[in-house]
């Protein structure tokens, strides 16, 4: 810790608030001179305290701003530790993803395929995407490179996607859907839709479709291309969450060093530099700075959580005038843009409990996109508590061309609550019980209510808040014009 003070005689020492100079009667000083310590240097202890405070505030800002990257880095590191690395390794949750996989807001009601491509190692990569995939490629700030599927350029027919490294200046062949990534690291996220079986969802057709994916370097000869590997990720304990301790900063430094300078704006690089993270330079915070960085990792997530808890003053995140359901993008674009600004608080909130923002999730595409109304509160505005029993009623004919699903999540990080019911969700592939008018009641609580079947019940953890997410895949016009609306959760006991 360096304190730079000029050598001074006793009379030239910095003045404190208690040692103000006498007033110069008849003389006028600029306002800032009068406001800031009467135009004198600060006491050294105060100066150091203010510098520490600035360092801490910059660390808070860096945490919130870089969370999209650390979110997916955590996913990559957790996945590769269990399933291995390489462009040819595509883990698939072949028996659905359950609460043993720690990842923000996973969907147990589709088949997930997720991998992490490194264009710095492989060079340009070709991804042969099967037909009818619901997916995307994002860079490692989780900015969408392109949707894949009905909203993507292949229009659900499948096709060859060519992923180019940053600043690529080589030949780009025709006949590909070609995209340049701003980062060397690319996140591949495919979802395939299950079939309706005799006793509920049948994953096998969706798994078979995902296993048609092929990934290979553009310039590789056939004999050099590695055979695809599709490890079954289901049923395994996999921690894919972002760091919650000081390793956050170490992983961030590794990311900054690995990626091109162009991947991060100069202003954000300036923020990172102010806490000692500079591309190519050693990251060596002193003891006091380490304490401040450790404190920032503890406090920043609580700040994000506080914003989520207290809600937006402008109400832009509300789906309905008369319901509690929220929209994760707060009426912004998939890139978190409002009309005149980048919505940094909403972006940080999203990546605290979710991942993979894409146009298909935000656009109002009839019969093709997906929608995700989220409930934190019951009909009276009280936070959902896992100690209580609630009923969510879906009116008849939910407007979902493909299927609908309801899932419970932990509020802090979007992981699934791990109970005896490893899949805290239900969906329209099941023979869910319906009411006489065709509506469906979904029940949440620590114990299954009497006369409620397994397919209509989601178990919660006592004394822990939770959120309920409704998914509509292939949302139809009744959702968009709000002639169909889900009822709020009602506390029953």
pLDDT digits over 457-486, tens only?
999 999 999 999 999 999 999 999 999 999
Is residue 337 over pLDDT 60? yes
In 41-174, alpha helices (H): 44-83, 119-122
Do 27 and 39 form a contact (C-beta atoms < 8 A)?
no
CA angle 371, 377, 383 (to 5 degrees): 140
Q: Tell me the per-residue pLDDT of 108-120, one tens digit each, with 9 for 90 and over.
A: 999 999 999 999 9
Residue 5 confidence (pLDDT):
53
In 166-283, alpha helices (H): 204-210, 247-258, 266-274
Write out the DSSP string of 379-443: TTSPBPBTTS-EEEEEPSS--EEEEEEEEEEETTT-PPP-SS-SS-EEETTS---B-TTS-EEEE
The Cα–Cα gap between 352 and 355 comes to 8
- Identify the band that residue 332 occupies on the pLDDT scale cut at 50, 70 and 90: confident
Instruction: Find where tokens 């060519």 sit.
Output: 162
* Residue 397, both tokens: 């004919």
- Identify the band that residue 38 occupies on the pLDDT scale cut at 50, 70 and 90: confident
The Cα–Cα gap between 111 and 97 comes to 8
* Residue 368, both tokens: 């093709």
The Cα–Cα gap between 241 and 413 comes to 8
What are the structural domain ranges in the chain? 54-67+243-310, 84-239, 344-491
**DSSP letter at 28?**
-
**Mean pLDDT, residues 164-192:** 97
- Topology alike, domains 54-67+243-310 and 344-491: no
Strand duo 214-217 + 134-139: pairing: unpaired
Within 10 angstroms of residue 208's Cβ, the number of other Cβ atoms is 13
In 174-263, alpha helices (H): 204-210, 247-258
Is residue 12 over pLDDT 70? no
Q: Tell me the per-residue pLDDT of 241-297, one tens digit each, with 9 for 90 and over.
A: 999 999 999 999 999 999 999 999 999 999 999 999 999 999 999 999 999 999 999
Radius of gyration of the chain (CA): 26
User: Which residues are CB-contacts of 86 (< 8 A; sequence separation ≥ 6)?
Assistant: 226, 229
Residue 311 confidence (pLDDT):
93
Q: Exposed (0-12), middle (13-18) or buried (19+): which is 422, by Cβ within 10 Å?
A: middle
**Quick one: which H or E segment has residue 307?**
helix 287-310
For domain 54-67+243-310, give the fold.
Answer: VPA0735-like fold (1.10.3360)
The Cα–Cα gap between 360 and 46 comes to 51
Do 287 and 279 form a contact (C-beta atoms < 8 A)?
no
* pTM metric for this prediction: 0.91
In 222-286, alpha helices (H): 247-258, 266-274
For domain 84-239, give the fold.
Answer: Immunoglobulin-like (2.60.40)
The Cα–Cα gap between 138 and 145 comes to 5
Distances 466 to 95, 245, 417 between C-alpha atoms, Å:
25, 24, 8
Residue 9 confidence (pLDDT):
46
The Cα–Cα gap between 162 and 9 comes to 69
Residue 331 confidence (pLDDT):
80
Q: Give 410's strand partners.
A: 466
Residue 22 confidence (pLDDT):
52
Tell me the torsion sign for CA atoms 115, 118, 121, 123.
positive
User: How far apart, in Å, do the first and last CA atoms of the chain sit?
Assistant: 57
**Mean pLDDT, residues 168-178:** 96
Q: Exposed (0-12), middle (13-18) or buried (19+): which is 452, by Cβ within 10 Å?
A: middle
Residue 384 confidence (pLDDT):
98
The Cα–Cα gap between 418 and 145 comes to 33
Of the options 2.60.120.600, 1.20.1730.10, 2.40.10.10, 2.60.40.3500, the CATH number for the domain spanning 344-491: 2.60.120.600
Helix (H, G, I), strand (E, B) or coil at 344: helix
Q: Tell me the per-residue pLDDT of 46-92, one tens digit each, with 9 for 90 and over.
A: 999 999 999 999 999 999 999 999 999 999 999 999 999 999 999 99
User: Which residues are CB-contacts of 451 (< 8 A; sequence separation ≥ 6)?
Assistant: none
């Amino acid at each position: 810790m360096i304190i730079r003070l000029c050598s001074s005689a006793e009379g030239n020492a910095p003045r404190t608030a208690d040692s103000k100079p006498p007033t110069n009667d008849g003389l006028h000083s600029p306002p800032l001179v009068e406001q800031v310590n009467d135009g004198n240097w600060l006491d050294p202890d105060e100066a150091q305290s203010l510098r520490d405070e600035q360092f801490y505030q910059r660390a808070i800002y860096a945490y919130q701003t870089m969370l999209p990257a650390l979110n997916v880095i955590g996913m990559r590191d957790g996945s590769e530790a269990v399933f291995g690395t390489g462009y040819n390794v595509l883990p698939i949750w072949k028996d659905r993803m359950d609460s043993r996989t720690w990842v923000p807001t996973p969907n147990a009601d589709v088949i997930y395929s997720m991998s992490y491509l490194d264009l710095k190692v492989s060079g340009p990569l070709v991804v042969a995407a099967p037909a009818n995939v619901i997916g995307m490629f994002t860079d490692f700030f989780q900015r969408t490179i392109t949707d894949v599927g009905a909203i993507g350029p292949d229009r659900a027919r499948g096709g060859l996607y060519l992923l180019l490294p940053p600043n690529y200046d080589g030949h780009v062949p025709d006949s590909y859907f070609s995209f340049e990534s701003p980062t060397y690291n690319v996140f591949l996220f495919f979802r395939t839709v299950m079939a309706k079986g005799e006793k509920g969802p049948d994953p096998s057709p969706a798994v078979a479709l995902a296993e048609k994916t092929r990934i290979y370097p553009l310039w590789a000869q056939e004999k050099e291309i590695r055979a695809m590997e599709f490890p079954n990720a289901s049923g395994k304990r996999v921690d894919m969450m972002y760091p919650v301790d000081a390793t956050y900063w170490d992983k961030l430094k590794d990311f900054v060093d690995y990626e091109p300078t162009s991947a991060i704006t100069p202003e954000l690089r300036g923020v990172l530099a102010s806490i000692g993270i500079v591309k190519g330079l050693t990251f060596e915070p002193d003891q006091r700075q380490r304490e401040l960085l450790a404190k920032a990792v503890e406090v920043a997530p609580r700040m994000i959580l506080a914003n989520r808890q207290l809600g937006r003053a402008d109400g832009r995140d509300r789906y309905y005038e008369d319901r509690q359901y929220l929209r994760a993008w707060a009426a912004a674009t998939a890139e978190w843009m409002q009309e005149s600004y980048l919505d940094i608080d909403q972006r940080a909130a999203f990546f605290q409990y979710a991942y993979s923002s894409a146009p298909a999730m935000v656009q109002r595409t009839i019969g093709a996109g997906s929608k995700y109304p989220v409930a934190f509160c019951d009909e009276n505005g009280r936070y959902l508590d896992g100690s209580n029993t609630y009923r969510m009623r879906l009116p008849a004919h939910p407007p979902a061309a493909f299927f609908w699903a309801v899932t419970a999540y932990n509020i802090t990080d979007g992981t699934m609550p791990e109970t005896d019911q490893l899949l805290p969700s239900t969906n329209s592939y099941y023979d869910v019980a319906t009411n006489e008018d065709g509506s469906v009641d979904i029940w949440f609580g620590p114990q299954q209510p009497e006369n409620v079947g397994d397919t209509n019940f989601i178990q919660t953890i006592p004394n822990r808040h939770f959120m309920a997410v409704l998914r509509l895949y292939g949302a139809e016009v009744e959702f968009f014009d709000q002639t169909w609306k889900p009822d709020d959760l009602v506390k029953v006991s």
